Amino acid sequence: MSNDPYHAGTADELPSIEEQLVAYLDGELDDESSRSLEQRLATDSTLRLQLGRLERTWDLLDQLGRAEVGETFTRTTIEMVALAAEQEQRQEEAERPIRRRRRLLGAAAGILASSAAGFVLVWALWPNPNRQLLEDLPVLESLDEYQQIDGIEFLELLHERGVFAGEGDHDGV
Amino acid sequence: MLEVRDDNAAAFEELMLRYQGRVVTVLEHATGNRDLAEDLAQDVFLRMYRARKRYVPGAKFSTWLYTIANNVALNALRSRARRREVTLEGRESGPLGVRPLEAMIAASSGQIPARAADKAEARDVVQMAIQSLNERQRMAVLLSKFEGMSYAEIAESMGLSVQAIKSLLSRARNNLKEVLEPYLDRGQPPASEVGLRPAENEADSIRSEADRD
């Protein structure tokens, strides 16, 4: 490229002084770095030259000018957007019954699920009077015989002596 | 923009009128093609409208708008580059081949007329210099120059870090300097109303400044 000492390396490996100069011109350098750079610029004419070139070529970009946009552009753009708005509205209206159905189905599913959960909960927790009867059934079937015995200790004595051997084992009896 | 978000059509039109020239300017210089720039600008405003519900209050509108513009421009430039790959080889981007910078420097130093360059020629030279940059460098330069955006705003619009933007702009501006220096040194500046000093006096002042030290 050139023998510029600030241009060491390839174009892809610009030293940081290049970045500092550009950032300085753009007002993006912090105060401390700006002061440090200004001190260098004060004593380094090559650096000042480089800064000047950067500034002048940046100013040249004003030659590009700013676009003037005609009414046709404005009108056609607004028409495009109006068309998009209409399409959006039509799509929304088309989807409304589908969304309503989904909401109703969702609500129905929710009610069903809640009911099922409630049923299961009540069934699990509510005391079942029949349960106790079922447990006591063996005793009830032989109630007449048991009423002839005074106490449980006599039954336990008969059981120890093997009187009930061979009969089914009734828990709790 | 908040009113546009709430489907206020008049607000959208006002916003568009305020920004359409600026968006077309950036896109024209990014693509080098006015007609394409207008098409892309319409795409930008359409996307802006479609994305209006996602606009976050408090975010700077221009940064958001140019995020969309940057995406639209880069997509267009890349698909244009892909189409050109069919007939030309070895080009990553830009119309000047594998080494656009060197081509531009040669063009600038050899072809610029010695006589005073009129405004149209100056504009052409600068436009070619801009086109010699790659897409990201070009967009960063345009957002900085024409929109006055800060590095942080450009970074947000382009989806890059601030340091990446700093490097990008540094390379871009140094590339522009190399391309346009021969023009500055040899040709007359454009018409005086743009405020440039005459190139011959400028060249002399540069030489005498260097001699002094």
Task: Answer yes or no: do A106 and A140 share one domain.
Answer: no
Task: Answer yes or no: do B7 and B54 share one domain.
Answer: yes
Higher pLDDT, B196 or B11: B11
B188 Cβ contact list (under 8 Å, min separation 6): B115, B116, B117, B198, B199, B200
Q: For residue B209, give the chain A residue with the closest CA.
A: A45
pLDDT digit string, tens, across residues A93-102:
888 888 888 8
Domain that holds residue B74: 1-87
Tokens of B9: 């059509």
Q: For residue A61, give the chain B residue with the closest CA.
A: B126
Tell which B residues from 96 to 155 touch A, by Cβ distance under 8 Å: 101, 119, 122-123, 125-127, 129-130, 141, 144-146, 150-151
What is the per-residue pLDDT for B89?
47
Q: pTM here?
A: 0.65
What is the per-residue pLDDT for B105?
61
Contact A57 B177 (CB under 8 A): yes
What is the per-residue pLDDT for B38?
95
Distance CA B203, CA B184 (A): 8
What is the per-residue pLDDT for A124?
78
Judged against a pLDDT cut of 80, whether residue B58 lies above it is answered with: no
Average pLDDT over residues A50-68: 92
Confidence of residue A152 (pLDDT cuts 50, 70, 90): confident
Task: Answer yes or no: do B36 and B134 share one domain.
Answer: no
| CA distance to partner chain B, nearest, from residue A116 (Å) | 40
Residue of A14, A28, A40, A63 for testing the chain B interface, max B β-carbons within 10 Å? A63
Q: What is the 3 state secondary structure string of A36-73?
A: HHHHHHHHCHHHHHHHHHHHHHHHHHHHHCCCCCCHHH
What is the per-residue pLDDT for B97?
53
Higher pLDDT, B184 or B150: B150
Average pLDDT over residues A127-152: 78
Comparing A13-27, A103-117, B128-142, which segment has the lowest mean pLDDT?
A13-27
Q: For residue B172, give the chain A residue with the closest CA.
A: A22
Task: Answer yes or no: do B81 and B176 share one domain.
Answer: no
Task: Answer yes or no: do B108 and B9 share one domain.
Answer: no
B160 Cβ contact list (under 8 Å, min separation 6): B136, B168
* Domains: count for chain B: 2
Contact B16 A11 (CB under 8 A): no
Query: Which positions in chain B touch A63 (Cβ < 8 Å)?
Result: 119, 122-123, 125-126, 190, 194
Last residue of a domain, one of A43, A64, A85: A64
| CATH number of the domain bearing residue B152 | 1.10.10.10
Judged against a pLDDT cut of 90, whether residue A46 lies above it is answered with: yes
Confidence of residue B197 (pLDDT cuts 50, 70, 90): very low
Last residue of a domain, one of B87, B104, B139: B87
Confidence of residue B211 (pLDDT cuts 50, 70, 90): very low
pLDDT digit string, tens, across residues B8-52:
888 899 999 999 999 999 999 999 999 999 999 999 999 999 998
Distance CA B38, CA B24 (A): 6
Domain that holds residue A149: 127-173
